[in-house]
Structure 1
Amino acid sequence: MVVKNRFLGFLIWQSIPSTAIFLFFKTLISTIYSAKTHSFSIPFFPSLVASLTFFIFHLSQLLFSASLSVVFSPHPHRPASPLQLALELIRVLVVSGGSHASGSPDFRLRAKVSLGFVLFVVSAALSGLVAASSVCWVNPIGDGARFIGRVGFRGFLVGLLYGLHYVYKRRWVLEFPIIQRAPFFSFKMGLPLAAARALKLSGVAYLFSATVVPFLPDQLKSKVTVGKFIAEQTLFYLGSFAVFLSWELSHHLCQVLHTKRFIFAPPKGSAAAETNPSEPLLAALEESNPSSLLQYLAYLDLCMVSENNVDMWRRAAFFEESGETYKKVIAVCLRPLEQLASKLGEALESSVDKNSQLSNQLLPPTDLGANPNCREPLNNLQLCTWCARTVAALTAHSHEEDRFGVAQLSGSNAAAISTLISCLLAVETFMGKTTNVQSPNLMGSAGIKWATSSMGRTDIRMRKKRGGPLHSKAYAISDVLRTSIYRVVSAFHDEMQASAKAGLLDKDWIISGKPLFGSREVLLHKLRLFLDFRAS
């Protein structure tokens, strides 16, 4: 219901700027046409035709806005290529005989994403056809049917170009703002950028559509004077700009309304707030579909509750006496980080194994950026960022707010630090940075170096080229992980120093089992660097 209500609100609010744009440009186009053709007409005088064009324009905007709900997502899903879809279809029809469902769940999801993109591009093209015809229609220029045919065809091409550009540039991914502001203020701040983008796109689309006009059938070609021809070109450019501006504002409004924070908590002072205020939040985190908008909104709400001191009563409920709520919250936050470390570790191991089998050492190193196992977890940057910040904030606040000691007694502190450091090591190894653990303090009694972890083999061969397509995301998430670890270390600095002097640092702050990436010795060495404020 949260997502449905927001989408219904988006459909209502987008009609306001669309109406203003239609009235302004319709009046402007009517005025320009009257001036250029020396004909007398009242600019956009209310009539049956004017009402019909207004209704048709809003239908086109409704079609475009509804198609946005098919493609927009907070998670950058990877669509299936046309070749993969064709091969899977052939396999189903020929090999399986169409007797059962085809493909893995991952492939079916990618096929569904590809189908959504196709539907969006087609909807944008149809919406462009209808919207351009309704905005540009004035008193017939030469022949009204031919004029509408030319404008509609060019509007179809304009919409097709916009749809392809929208999908290719991945603008369908919802981008959550760093600072949450009021929706009206956020919408107002994006108006100049939307207008500038609409101006650029309308210029490119006008030139693109003008190149195909000579290839139109003779029934649609213009047979008017030079003055009316210039008027027609001016009207179409203004109409295409109006359509693009309306689409850009709809896109911006969709981003603003769907990325607004939703508070998953009962009203303060109610019975539910007194008994179990964390139940709605935990239900949204655990029961919602993975990578869905509802799950992202729940993680955003959890991050803001953990970091800020506005809803301290909600954060205090995490540290209830039984400790079950705190363990559930930490578990759902560590899950995306564990997936990040595990998938990166598997990708690095598989790349190392391939390189180790090469007999010629002069062959170029493996490009990790082409590995989908590396690309998928790093694309989940927003969710991993919220989880790292939430884990660090709750662990740091537990030093002062955990009256029952549930964070330490449940082992959540050690799990949080171990997971954060494992993720940091995996990301740094992906970036080509290795941790030197061959220090005297980490030498065993027999002189064996404890740096024989799996990541030690990635020193040279797995070094990633700087400036690659995923390097910026890896750098961003490594910075968040490093800051999160420093926040925990700063809160527990005295306790960690005492544990380090007593030789119990690994026992108190590192999990006893095998870490997700690296070894316990590597994690301990990295934690000592943070404890000395030398990790960078």
Structure 2
Amino acid sequence: MSRSSTTPVELVLNNRFLSYLIWQSIPSSLISLFFISLLPNSSLFSFPLLLLPFHTLFSATLSLLSSPHPLRPLSPLQLSSTLLRFLFLPSPTPHSPHFRARLRLSLTFLLFVTASSASAFASTVSLCGVGPTAHGVWLIGRVGFRGFLIGTLFGLHYVFKRRWVLAFPIIQRPPFFSFKMGIPSAARRAFKLSIVASLFSGVFLEVLPHPFNHSIASTGFFKEQIVFSVATFAIFFSWELTHHLHWVLHTKRSIFAPPKGSAAAETNPSEHLLSALEESNPTSLLRYLAYLDLCMVCENNVDTWRRAGFFEETGETYKRVISVCLKPLEHLAMKLSEGLGNSVDKPTQLSNQLSSPSDARPDLKFVEELYNFQLYAWCSRTVGSLTACSRKEDKFGVAQLSGSNAAVVSTLISCLLAVENFMGKKTSLQSPNQLLGPAGIKWATMNSGRVDVATGKRRSGPVNSKAYAIADVLKTSIYQIVTVFHDEMLAGAKASLLEKDWVTSGKPLFGTREMLIQKLRLFLDFRAT
């Protein structure tokens, strides 16, 4: 979605939400009308009265729940104790912003599960119909309760499978094409979920004592199961398409730039983008869209006029761009350093050797940082591409004169060291008599048997797969810089100026300055793996 120079950046999300609410009504209406005409006891009058408003409620709560930031919610015990303190204590203790964000997410989970249960209740009653049984009792209680169960089951499955986290596609395609390609997978998922939900609700309903029981061998019982299964598939298929449409519309690239050829494009083409990056909420979708737009500008040759605006003469724009990209990487390095300890500290090394394998597992609050992979990947790719482009496009030398080159390389290597330490790849800085080749550094796993066992535990599971992915992106970005500046770096290494031009003089975020220099030499020799 393109932005004009007079449109504030906050309208980007509002426009997407409104377009999502409009477009989601089309496939859901078509599916509902088709199955209303197919099922025997359903009525067309139930569509505007029950189906449409409750499905809109489900769609709105789904959009409220979705977020690109994979924040960890509160546990049920924490949520219960917080709500009890809020209700019975006159002045509850104030919590940190991070805790309040987790609390809002947990309450949003409850709201979404409630909305899905209510929507499924109304939808099943509308689709299955409410005809009298042999005893003269209306089926609204039996069918509606089964709908409530399948709605609750879908809501819990959606929450615990973390489907609410927006994952941006690697390749940006037109929205209609992306939506069309997701219809078969949505139908398959809806079919699988409908089978499980129908069996679960049917068994659960037969176990509970209530006045709506049928005889297992009766014809009406089997007819009810078939009708309910078809209605469940219709509901889940409509919800899956709504989820897919929300993903397509909200992960589409937004261009944070004034129109090309306007006065703003000539004077300050980066202000819209920097405003979204610096002033928006760090966990909001708006900031993620801004990072995506920045990454595509730096990596591609489509908007070269926007990238040229980063290298303006004063260098302030370039420093602001580099700063907003390095902050998330610095945050990741510091969090992992706090969780696992700096591997070069002797007390930490000794404690790691004496600890048991189970103690080597990091705390969950540090592990959750790795789930924000797409933000770290964008930041790493952006600074790597922008630094590599500066060799030919930086006419005023602002990248080198401002010290941004050294800051970028130091941050990338420090973050890589922290991630590798998390994966169990220990760093051993060798003495001059034990140097292995020109790089002078040995990267290996500790020889202790107990540490090897801990490392094996870390390498299993989805968390460590995220760590491997982040490490690969960081290595690619460093190699991208080293490949472009290889001749300059070799000349600087021979003149003993490599560390002066490419490594900051202060204490790094992780490790020591000597480790950063020797790791950079490994990349310079193309031996960093």
TM-score of the superposed pair, with normalisation by structure 1? 0.89
Q: 2:12 aligns with which of 2, 7, 11?
A: 2
Equivalence for 2:152: 160
Tell me, yes or no, if structure 1 residue 57 matches structure 2 residue 55.
no
Whether contact under 8 Å (1:389, 1:480) holds in the other structure is: yes
The letter of the residue matching 2:521 is: R
Q: 3-state SS of the aligned residue for 1:212? A: helix
The alpha-carbon distance between structure 1 residues 357 and 415, as it changes in their structure 2 partners (threshold 3 A), is closer
Task: Quote the offset at 1:520 in angstroms.
Answer: 1.0
RMSD over aligned Cα atoms: 2.8
Identity %: 59
The alpha-carbon distance between structure 1 residues 137 and 263, as it changes in their structure 2 partners (threshold 3 A), is same
Alpha-carbon distance between aligned partners in 1 of 2:340 and 2:355, rounded to the nearest angstrom: 20
Structure 1 unaligned segments of length 5 or more: list them: 34-43, 444-449
Whether contact under 8 Å (2:130, 2:140) holds in the other structure is: no
Task: Quote the offset at 1:118 in angstroms.
Answer: 0.8
Task: Quote the offset at 1:318 in angstroms.
Answer: 0.3
Q: Give matches, 1:277-356, under 5 Å.
A: 277-349=269-341, 356=350
Equivalence for 1:202: 194
Alpha-carbon distance between aligned partners in 1 of 2:303 and 2:231, rounded to the nearest angstrom: 49
Structure 2 unaligned segments of length 5 or more: list them: 1-10
Q: Deviations over 1:16-72 (max 9, x none)?
A: 111111122122213xx7xxxxxxxxxx7xxxx513334411112111101112211
Whether contact under 8 Å (1:344, 1:427) holds in the other structure is: yes
Alpha-carbon distance between aligned partners in 2 of 1:497 and 1:144, rounded to the nearest angstrom: 90
Instruction: Count residues in correspondence.
Output: 510
Task: Quote the offset at 1:433 in angstroms.
Answer: 1.1
Q: Deviations over 1:230-281 (max 9, x none)?
A: 2221111100000000011111111111100000001111111111110000
Tell me, yes or no, if structure 1 residue 83 matches structure 2 residue 93.
no
Equivalence for 1:252: 244
Q: 3-state SS of the aligned residue for 1:69? A: helix
Whether contact under 8 Å (1:125, 1:160) holds in the other structure is: yes
Larger deviation, residues 395-404 vs 67-76: 67-76
The letter of the residue matching 1:167 is: V
Task: Quote the offset at 1:102 in angstroms.
Answer: 2.9
Q: 3-state SS of the aligned residue for 2:219? A: helix
Equivalence for 2:28: 18
Q: Deviations over 1:327-379 (max 9, x none)?
A: 00000000000001111111112899688569x9473352334x134213212
The alpha-carbon distance between structure 1 residues 141 and 8, as it changes in their structure 2 partners (threshold 3 A), is farther
Q: Deviations over 1:270-308 (max 9, x none)?
A: 111111110000000000001110000000000000000
Task: Quote the offset at 1:426 in angstroms.
Answer: 0.6
Q: 1:379 aligns with which of 359, 371, 381?
A: 371
Whether contact under 8 Å (1:136, 1:236) holds in the other structure is: yes
Alpha-carbon distance between aligned partners in 1 of 2:26 and 2:297, rounded to the nearest angstrom: 34
Alpha-carbon distance between aligned partners in 2 of 1:278 and 1:23, rounded to the nearest angstrom: 48
Q: Deviations over 1:62-99 (max 9, x none)?
A: 111011122111011111112123334555677xx422
TM-score of the superposed pair, with normalisation by structure 2? 0.90
Alpha-carbon distance between aligned partners in 1 of 2:266 and 2:137, rounded to the nearest angstrom: 68
Q: 3-state SS of the aligned residue for 1:146? A: coil
Q: 1:514 aligns with which of 480, 501, 507?
A: 507
Q: 3-state SS of the aligned residue for 1:234? A: helix
The letter of the residue matching 2:35 is: F
The alpha-carbon distance between structure 1 residues 350 and 103, as it changes in their structure 2 partners (threshold 3 A), is farther
Q: Give matches, 1:23-422, under 5 Å.
A: 23-30=33-40, 49-89=43-83, 97-137=89-129, 146-215=138-207, 218-222=210-214, 226-349=218-341, 356=350, 361=354, 363-369=356-362, 371-422=363-414
Task: Quote the offset at 1:222 in angstroms.
Answer: 4.1
Equivalence for 1:489: 482
The letter of the residue matching 2:259 is: P
Larger deviation, residues 405-414 vs 130-139: 130-139
Equivalence for 1:40: none
Whether contact under 8 Å (2:292, 2:378) holds in the other structure is: yes
The alpha-carbon distance between structure 1 residues 105 and 335, as it changes in their structure 2 partners (threshold 3 A), is same
Whether contact under 8 Å (1:493, 1:531) holds in the other structure is: yes
Alpha-carbon distance between aligned partners in 2 of 1:225 and 1:460, rounded to the nearest angstrom: 61
Task: Quote the offset at 1:214 in angstroms.
Answer: 2.5
The letter of the residue matching 1:11 is: L
Alpha-carbon distance between aligned partners in 2 of 1:217 and 1:459, rounded to the nearest angstrom: 58
Alpha-carbon distance between aligned partners in 1 of 2:390 and 2:305, rounded to the nearest angstrom: 14
Larger deviation, residues 311-320 vs 56-65: 56-65
Whether contact under 8 Å (1:395, 1:488) holds in the other structure is: yes
Whether contact under 8 Å (1:431, 1:464) holds in the other structure is: no
Alpha-carbon distance between aligned partners in 2 of 1:306 and 1:405, rounded to the nearest angstrom: 17
Q: 3-state SS of the aligned residue for 2:39? A: helix
Larger deviation, residues 400-409 vs 84-93: 84-93
The alpha-carbon distance between structure 1 residues 89 and 17, as it changes in their structure 2 partners (threshold 3 A), is closer
Q: 3-state SS of the aligned residue for 2:357? A: coil
Task: Quote the offset at 1:315 in angstroms.
Answer: 0.3
Q: 3-state SS of the aligned residue for 1:470? A: helix
Q: Deviations over 1:102-139 (max 9, x none)?
A: 32222222111111111111111111100111112276
The letter of the residue matching 2:500 is: K
